[in-house]
Amino acid sequence: MKISVSEFKTKCTKFIRDVENLNRTIEITKRGKIVAIVTSPSLPKKIDPQEFLGCLHDTVTYAPDWDSPLGEDDWEACR
């Protein structure tokens, strides 16, 4: 739907309700040239937890001896 700036100014609330309730897109024109487009926002994409966590696969590495006990020198260094 194309409307002029002056028409949009006078009936702004009605047009906004139309965009929201009827999922319309309104092109606002000035001297026949489109200067703005009013449209409802797209719905946010729901994130699939399996997909999100799957992208982390093989991104964490650890040393092979990460769970071996610390020696006396290491204990002192960690203080």
Tell me the pLDDT band of 73, cut-offs 50, 70 and 90.
confident
The per-residue pLDDT for 2 is 93
Is the overall model pTM greater than 0.85, yes or no? no
Residue 33 pLDDT > 90, yes or no? yes
Q: Where are the domains of the chain?
A: 1-40
3-state secondary structure 28-52: EEECCEEEEEECCCCCCCCCCHHHH
Is a pLDDT exceeding 80 seen at residue 74?
no
Average pLDDT of the segment spanning 24-29: 93
Query: CATH number of the domain at 1-40, out of 3.40.50.300, 3.40.1620.10, 3.40.50.1110, 3.40.430.10?
Result: 3.40.1620.10
The DSSP symbol for 43 reads P
State residue 34's pLDDT score.
95
